[in-house]
Amino acid sequence: MIDHIEEAPIVAQRPQPDVAEQQQYAEATAISLERLIDRLKNDSEFSKSLAEHPKSTLGEAGIVLHKEGMEFLMEFHPERFDRLSAELFEMMDPSFIACMDEPSCSVGNK
């Protein structure tokens, strides 16, 4: 007979999306980055607002970026990620790009 059973602590974890969902998330992230790049190229007021208020500007523009989506984009479409990143780095200060990713700016809802 067992006198004492130790139980492992229960840790709540977010369920992992299946591969199809990961690919959709990667595509949505790529589209958000493409929209961001387009706005930066064509809308000087958006660029100014983004520099001053990144969280609210991205949210108002409906541009949602999450770390998880970036990771899926890198995994499924590394060339596309590299191309989009290079375009952003040419237009923006690299330290600002890090600020756009959740949780640092908390852009969008999961």
Confidence (pLDDT) at 109: 43
Quick one: tokens of 22?
Answer: 């990961």
pTM for this predicted structure: 0.69
Which amino acid appears at position 40 of this protein? Answer: L
- Within 8-93, residue ranges assigned H as helices are 19-42, 44-52, 54-61, 67-76, 78-91
State pLDDT tens for residues 64-104: 888 999 999 999 999 999 999 999 888 876 566 566 554 54
- The alpha carbon of residue 42 and the mean position of all alpha carbons in its chain are separated, in whole angstroms, by 22
pLDDT at 7 over 90: no
- The alpha carbon of residue 12 and the mean position of all alpha carbons in its chain are separated, in whole angstroms, by 22
Separation CA 72–CA 59 (nearest Å):
21
- Stretch 45-64: mean pLDDT, rounded? 90
Angle at 102 between CA 75 and CA 35, to 5 degrees: 70
State pLDDT tens for residues 10-51: 655 555 778 999 999 999 999 999 999 999 999 999 989 988
